[in-house]
Structure 1
């Protein structure tokens, strides 16, 4: 039996259950830009679009470079083509199709698709320019003629032809017929006179372009078996040779004129792709053995092996300059390799997965999402961020739910299991096993006693939530093909169970007896979602026939039809008051309907993929949608306005973005999976932080944080930063040369960093005009204190546009500083300060001074063990010791001592007491303060240290291994409302982040807004300090003994909210740290840990 590759791919795609099958939803289409979500049309290159980097969800089968080498293009059997920025690895845009080619001038992208068409796209806008139609089967390979005037396509079984098309008109020019099986590969000769095709019939054929006649046939492959033949063909740059790769595990080099085999290159498995280097000296092959190999064309010897892919290498190509190799694989990644070293340079892959299911917690404080990345993510709306990643499932999570008390989370997965998780700890509590196929839906009973699951195995199962034991099995109707029970629900009183089936029926069951009570049948497609109204009187179903139906539960009669969606309805929900119906569809939208009239009231538009899940907030004010474009979006239920997008990334980072461009994200926006694109240029979130960074954005959107959103200019046009060219400093000439070219946005400040620490806040000087066409700047780094002798030092330059809101990415060069590399053991320098007794009694604190003393003890123990007692320089300033009080002068002098540190030394700063935000500055109040009123500049100068001052003090310290803890709270009087939200202000977070960017410090800031959340009699310490000391006593040590700064800080971020909840308060510390870096600040053996002071938890007493 002959099976087309398209059929195989389709079956595998469906069996992976990425989407629903058949006539229910279309295959996941990739309209221009559809795998990204954007705030502007993809046809407007001057306007920025926001791209969530999804990458490919299936095998990569085709790769190529743009002619200038700046971009990489990949095609996949998910029927999308991805354009990537080669330098950054960022996804730029998507096109429809699985095979790809660039036009010789780089203006156009060509794709071949399963829909039997080839399409021409504008590379800069993503707009379709032309469509080539005429093949009778899906199109495999595509190519441009060398002059760009023609397009060549090859087709699958059922057609077996190659065709030549006129680019300008889209008309077919010529047909190349003769192969007996599908065509796998095509190529033009360098002079454009010939076409080469490789086929499953074990031959490669040379054709005359002018006449369409076969000129030569290359045969010799004798592979007999499944999907055999010649997979890849190409010409040498001089046109003298033909190279083929095939199912017999070899690549063959042929003399084009004589058809004689010249050389053979072997792999351990099938060779699926071949390429010549631009100079013709090398041959590149990609194989099912998961490797690509470089060969010397003359000798046939293997020169290099490129290893790292986890699955078959399906496509290979050289960069235009021949220095790099690009490979595409079934592992869904493309990789760039250095040809000389064989090392991987960059990986092109997705960072986020589509969302299948969303839910609000019963009290409205949390949202939960589950999706393709096999994890569920918990977002705390009050904290404004993702707080938990629930990992353990082996396949995608299709359905999520909260327990009625909100303390547990339920997930159902394609791995055939459902799991119960503790919301607070994120630990798996219970596993429900028994289904033999994928689970599509899960639900809790209203009393929390039971769990219900629906599966592809055509059963729904009732489980005891406490024991995990199966209570009852409900057998659904028989259905041929992918199907089963797609959705389940409990009635509000728990007496009935509702199941939605692939055959288009919904069934009502008696929970106690397991007997069928009623059948609802009217849908013409599968029922993908079911729900009960709050009073239990109505049943709501959403089907593949593009409608949602309202039914009378008692009679089984259809009451109302909601129609208007262009694709199947994947999700349905009732509003809490029962007056409205919400639907989500494969047409990318969600819609709000009047239950009584059936009229559409609002449409929620903006998603770029299928909306698989919808939910109302408990108060009915908000709508939550989960979509295959990887975003979860919040909407105003009344107006339909989009309020914000939530995105979780595979590496555990997250981001929130609103329609004006404001964002909040992990690492101050330094996340891999989300970026803006202007034209074809990616712009990272963190490059916009000067104007658009809005800490706590989600909490503000939802009303948990009453702080006003910053008024920003909507990000609708871009004034780009200058282009940068650097002249690398060398030992004989330690001058960094910076050449700037204005790209329309002017020339703003030029920031220079050495080893991540700012050495120059603005290197322009006074001679560079903001509107200059170009400028050159020189920076002498000779003997700079941040440099480490005898080591490679990283010099980084960032430049801003003239308005100062958009920075470039850092451009980095290495500098080998002269001198001997340090061999001495680092010194630990620490400043530990705590103010409890202020000059004014109104703002006195109980534990800040004690906390500082306890932290100093822990640092002394850990530092002495790791570095030696003589290598610990510890200065403790607390109000417990009047002769060493934390006054501003004493602290200034302490920071001055840090100037004696070496670049390789460790610096730790701990400040406890009161912190105040004023504008975009953070102020630490010193011993002299009488109140938190810093209105008077003279008072501010005398009793507070600003973040700007601190930055300048820190910049005088050469160390680049630096950690800071700001365990401070806002000065104020005691408030009785302990559960009231008290969070760090956005201004403080921005100040913290700016400090991190300029100094390279790892900064941990406590977020208590008053004494109540800050210090508790239950612990007799500030909560942040308590968490840090607890971590150092053993719960957050690397290898059970090393104090790793990142491990310790992350432990505190997780632990403090739990401690705060124990006393009825709310506190969420923040970390700002250079990405991907950490270091040890001490080592603690068991005997050391016993000496760390940590108060025992006591009964909670309100402070007076």
Structure 2
């Protein structure tokens, strides 16, 4: 959540662009967050996780800035240096690493002999740093040379569940080591002599598992000692005496910390955080997060107003200290994605093993014609998408839980899938219809393949069995019970007489060859020491290529069972290994995120491909072997030109519905929600994707870039744009006006060197028409002006936000402020304008269902809306009534009387036209769809309509467009479609309204007689009648519920009726609100 302050005169300097712009995906942590630290200036937050990573976040925006990757186990603790330039991390792999915060670069590593390092601390004076772990030692290291300076005994028991902790006082004078047995030792750093030992207890004479956390007061005069199952107390470092007891016994202790002003202390337990008056010792507030997960650590922001809590649910929660209310969280799409019914908790002891194995079932399939990609785990669907545009070509709906494994038939006409629901499904790959369903297992299926003649199916499951079924009728032909545990990988031999199995049970042979009829192991392959993650047979069937979590890739002689090649350059697990067509090269990738190309003849690495920010799980080569495609755990698919070795294209998927394609220069296309999960980072400065929407949202250009493998088109990328044209900076403040019911909104605009061309103000997400008389924009680097606008308040929360463009059309980051109004206001009215045109002046343009669609929409909103709104005012323009002048006049008429707390709904059914990247609504008198001069006279351009919508004051607006285009070749329509989608998105962004539109370009021009409507409006009406009412099922249909319903239902219905899924355009700007009361 963004936090806003009533501040104007803050010094802001635009940082120079000195390094490559990074594209950062708002992923969040994939496993439990164990630690949280706040930078000295409180602008940034660092988090450490069980997923082996540390992350940096921008506190004001909640954006993920970067990941610090390189550890091989949990990041147990971390700390910023005093100047905020460096971060130190303590890891379960036995290392401590120091990172440069601005770049994410690993600066140094120390590896003591500890089993694992549990805590680290910087000396505030920059002379040393401290590490401690379960090696029974705390160590001081010279910060410059990284040489060991001193070591101390530090008692800790790894099985206690607690950690050994260290802290250096703000003055640098003291070192405290919190140990087991409720003991804390304090040392003077000047001579490393022990000054105090605090281990008195009124509850225990000795205590294993009574680990202690330590923290100093800001003045370095006192020490906080918090021991699990014992007291939480404050000690005077001058006398060594206890001066205050906060709590006599703390159960399930996780952390204890003072605020930086020394006024508050937060005691974090497994389920709650208690905030104390640090001076008096009084308990002030208890925060009990409404989550099922355990808490791990708490930390105050620099001003002491917010508390951040690291949690086992993979999220950092933010609370207001004064009110105890949650005000935000640090999270990403990984924390919100649909897991397809696979609810195994990786943080649970009982689920952790199967969750780990399922996590890496993340394969990507390239169609035999190299035109589409396919993957499971889109909820319980599989999705096939176009390789050039990134748009979905087909969805496969049939599994009750996520599909984990899949294979095409050789001709690409059939698709075989195995799911987490234990089902095997054979599909018509082109149409998405199921040909055969086999409910064979109760547990997830790990692997599935056709036999060589594609008459049989081999599959293996978590339940420790392997089965062979007929691909014709689904009958089970063979059943194997595997003593060696579940087969993570299974594969037929070339002659189908044998099967290869890679099993999971530790202490057994990992790789076996079995005879099908007797089910006996006839050969084992000795060498791999961990999970085997991939199997591939050579073309002649004489060699087997394997990749393993033990970090190696091996080639085996099947006849002898002996290793022919062993490739060992990877750091950590290898998840994928494939041959090229001639089998002269091997490509491999895994946990270290580096793709390696090997020469088979001499086992040497000949090329590397670097760019992934998560573990790489899948590799594919196109049929012409000119392009390598790689896929990683974070949903990123990268495309590499093999001739140059460069990445030239990227697809990013965020779950079932949301995706983005982009190139390294920053040109992009994708869904609206996907843009919220991606941003650009320059050092520590973040930029939202939408700041570059006008010039860089280029679906047309991306198609050309893909076709030329990223060849130079002469366009300036985002890096160049920012160097030349930094965006302006905006600050917003608001206060109640002296005039009742109004607010005075102040916007400070700072020119950062590229001028300021346009200022926009939004009220609860809706664009506000600005008074031009007071709009004086700055003109010159460093100059600033303040603009004042009086705005009518609505009852409740009023959010005012603003953005400004520079002269190269790059937007500022939005800045916002909230103002609460207690006025009850008048009763709101819902205004509906429905336009439907069947009869056009040109008889060739006549439509069948536009007018009935508009009439039906008007009827359902009128009927259902009267139950929600006190007043409904309906206006209609049908056929010849819907002229250009009549539509524009009606919008002006409504603008004169609609107030901010009213609702405005505009429905249009008729022709639409896309010409020269401009969208036109086609009134009844229009004669031509694609003649620019005629359109400018007779039609209504989208930019004019959006200005009309801006002038309508209603903060809640919905625009519904069922506009079709007719005629033209498929290629022309495809080009129009890309431009049309951007134009409709721009309409939503510019007017800041909700827009739901059928995809024009003939996608929905087919009108289905059996429905009695155009498909889009048919489903729209069903949704408004109640089918769109989602969770919570409260009888109301809201904007976002309706949007989600259309996004789900339109592709499914078009797949059934037209053989191909097609997608509506749904863009949302502004706040959610109920549209009607459903059934």
Place the TM-score, normalised by the shorter chain, in its bin.
0.7 to 0.9
State the alpha-carbon separation in 1 of the partners of residues 863 and 66 from structure 2: 53
Contact 2:181–2:206, Cα closer than 8 Å, also in 1: no
Give the CA deviation at 1:758: 1.8
Contact 1:913/1:968 (CA < 8 Å) preserved in 2?
yes
TM-aligned CA deviation for residue 808 of structure 1: 2.5
Offset, 1:592:
6.2
TM-score after normalising by structure 1: 0.81
CA contact (8 A) 1:907 1:959 kept: yes
The correspondence of residues 1070-1085 of structure 1 with structure 2, limited to 5 A, is 1070-1074=1064-1068, 1077-1085=1071-1079
Pairs within 5 Å for 1:937-948: 939-948=934-943
Offset of 1:810 from its aligned partner? Answer: 1.8
Partner Cα distance (1:630, 1:195) in 2: 44
CA deviation string 1:823-856 (max 9, x = no partner) = 42x3332222233332223433333233333333
CA contact 2:592–2:615 (8 Å) conserved in 1: yes
User: Please, which of 280, 297, 302 is the counterpart of residue 262 of structure 2?
Assistant: 280
1:301 is displaced (CA, Å) by: 3.3
Q: 1:118: which partner in 2? A: 96
Call closer, same or farther: CA 1:463–1:213 in 2, change over 3 Å: farther
| Aligned residue number for residue 1093 of structure 1 | none
CA pair 458-234 structure 1, distance change in 2 beyond 3 A = same
Q: 1:659: how far off?
A: 2.0
In structure 2, distance between residues paired with 1:788 and 1:320: 33
Say whether the 8 Å CA contact 1:925–1:945 is kept in structure 2. Answer: yes
Aligned with 1:933 (options 916, 930, 934): 930
Q: Is 1:923 equivalent to 2:923 in the alignment?
A: no
Q: 2:325 aligns with which of 343, 357, 380?
A: 343
- Helix, strand or coil at the partner of 1:1015: coil
Selected match of 2:780 from 763, 766, 771: 771
Task: Give the corresponding residue for 1:850.
Answer: 852
Instruction: Indicate the residue corresponding to 1:1029 in structure 2.
Output: 1021
Match of 1:892 among 870, 874, 888: 888
Pick the aligned partner of 1:145 from 117, 123, 132: 123
Shift of 1:285: 0.4
Is contact 1:432-1:463 (8 Å) kept?
no
> Is the alpha carbon distance of 1:428 and 1:708 closer, same or farther for their aligned partners in structure 2, counting shifts above 3 Å?
farther
Q: Is the 8 A contact 1:565 1:585 kept in 2?
A: no
Which residue of structure 2 aligns with residue 128 of structure 1? 106
Correspondent of 1:194 among 174, 178, 183: 174
Alpha-carbon spacing, 1:324–1:933, altered in 2? closer, same or farther (3 Å): closer
- 1:39 match: none
Counterpart among 184, 197, 202 of residue 204 in structure 1: 184
SS in 2 for 1:352: helix
Correspondences of 1:676-715 after superposition (within 5 Å): 676-695=680-699, 712-715=715-718
Secondary structure class of the residue paired with 1:940:
helix
Match of 2:831 in 1: 829
- 8 Å contact kept, 1:281–1:297: yes
Once residues 513 and 144 of structure 1 are traced to their aligned partners in structure 2, the CA distance between those partners, rounded to angstroms, is 64
Tell me if structure 1 keeps the 8 A contact 2:1019–2:1050. Answer: yes
Task: Return the offset for 1:150.
Answer: 2.9
Structure 1 residue 518 displacement after superposition: 6.1
The offset of 1:950, in angstroms, is: 0.2
Say whether residues 1:461 and 2:463 are aligned partners: no
Tell me how far 1:232 sits from its aligned partner: 0.2
For residues 992 and 956 of structure 1, the distance between their equivalents in structure 2, rounded to whole angstroms, comes to 18
Q: Which is worse superposed, 385-394 or 983-992?
A: 385-394
For 1:1040 and 1:335, locate their aligned partners in 2 and report how far apart those are by CA, in whole Å: 28
User: Aligned equivalents of 2:641 and 2:397: distance in 1?
Assistant: 28
**Structure 1 985/598 Cα, relative in aligned 2: closer, same or farther at 3 Å?**
farther
| Deviation readout 1:875-915 (Å, 9 max, x if unpaired) | 22222xx4xx2110111122123212232322222222221
Alignment of 1:873-912 (within 5 A): 873-879=873-879, 882=880, 885-899=881-895, 900-912=897-909
Spell out, residue by residue over 1:680-710, the C-alpha distance to the aligned partner (whole angstroms, 9 max, x if none).
Answer: 122222222122223488877777x999999
Counterpart-to-counterpart distance in 2, 1:335 and 1:855: 43
Aligned-pair CA distance for 1:1048:
3.1
1:795 deviation in Å?
1.4
Question: 1:161 — aligned with what?
Answer: 137
CA change 1:260–1:1083 in 2 (3 A) is: closer
1:995 counterpart = 2:1010: no
CA deviation after TM superposition for structure 1 residue 302, in Å: 2.1
- 2:43 is the alignment partner of 1:70: yes
The alpha-carbon deviation at position 218 of structure 1 amounts to 0.9
TM superposition shift of 1:1006? 1.7
Q: Which runs of 5+ in 2 are unaligned?
A: 1-15, 336-358
Are 2:894 and 1:914 aligned? Answer: no
With over 3 angstroms needed to count, the CA separation of the structure-2 counterparts of 1:780 and 1:684, relative to structure 1, is closer
In structure 1, what is the Cα distance between the partners aligned to 2:28 and 2:486?
30
* Distance across 2 between alignment mates of 1:143 and 1:85: 22
Q: 1:470-492, CA deviations, whole angstroms, 9 ceiling, x for partnerless residues?
A: 653335574xxxx7533123467
Q: Is the 8 A contact 1:1008 1:1014 kept in 2?
A: no
The Cα of 1:661 is off from its aligned counterpart by: 1.2
The structure-2 alpha-carbon separation of the partners of 1:116 and 1:861, relative to structure 1 and needing over 3 Å to count, comes to: closer
Q: 1:958 aligns with which of 939, 946, 953?
A: 953
Residue 794 of structure 1 contacts residue 815 of structure 1 at CA under 8 Å; is this kept in 2? yes
Q: Using a 3 Å threshold, how does the CA distance of structure 1 residues 928 and 180 change in structure 2: closer, same or farther? A: closer
Aligned residue pairs: how many?
1009
Q: CA deviation at 1:625?
A: 2.2
Q: For residue 728 of structure 1, report the CA deviation from its aligned partner.
A: 2.1
- Cα distance in 1, alignment partners of residues 543 and 139 from structure 2: 58
2:279 equivalent to 1:302: no
Deviations 1:915-945 (A, max 9, x none): 1223342111111221123332xx2332111
After superposition, residues 520-535 of structure 1 pair within 5 angstroms as 527-532=532-537
**Alignment correspondent of 1:725:** 731
Structure 1 residues 178 and 802: CA distance shift in structure 2, 3 A? same
State which drifts further: 537-546 or 132-141.
537-546
Q: CA deviation at 1:125?
A: 1.8
Alignment of 1:646 onto 2:640: no
Distance of aligned partners of 1:492 and 1:637 in 2 relative to their CA distance in 1, 3 Å threshold:
farther
Partner SS state of residue 69, structure 1:
coil
User: How do 1:381-392 and structure 2 match up within 5 A?
Assistant: 381=386, 384-385=390-391
Match of 1:40 in 2: none
Q: CA deviation at 1:185?
A: 1.4
- Given that 1:504 and 1:543 are in contact with CA atoms closer than 8 Å, whether structure 2 keeps it comes out as no
2:356 corresponds in structure 1 to none
Q: Secondary structure at the match of 1:357?
A: coil
Alpha-carbon distance in structure 2 between the residues aligned to 1:1003 and 1:343 = 33
1:716 counterpart = 2:719: yes
Q: Deviations over 1:306-338 (max 9, x none)?
A: 222533322222222221222223333222221
Give the 5 Å matches for 1:599-618.
604-616=609-621
Offset at 1:789? 4.3
Asked if 1:170 corresponds to 2:152, the answer is no
1:441, 1:453 within 8 Å by CA — same for their partners in 2? yes
What are the superposed Cα offsets for residues 508-531 of structure 1, whole Å, 9 maximum, x if unpaired? 545566455766667687643123
Q: Distance in 2 between matches of 1:911 and 1:614?
A: 46
The equivalent residue for 2:441 is 433
Distance 1:1075 1:878, change over 3 A: closer
Q: Deviations over 1:636-673 (max 9, x none)?
A: 5776553433333369643332222122232165423x
Q: Distance in 2 between matches of 1:529 and 1:707?
A: 31
Q: What residue in structure 2 maps to residue 229 of structure 1?
A: 210
Distance in structure 2 (CA, Å) of the matches to 1:298 and 1:391: 62
1:764 and 1:777 in contact (8 A); partners too: no
* Cα distance per residue 1:1065-1104 (max 9 Å; x no partner): 757343343368433333354xxxxxxxxxxxxxxxxxxx
1:63 deviates by 2.0
Give the secondary-structure state (helix, strand or coil) at the position aligned to 1:322. Answer: coil
Bigger shift: 230-239 or 991-1000? 230-239
Change (3 A) 1:548 1:916: same
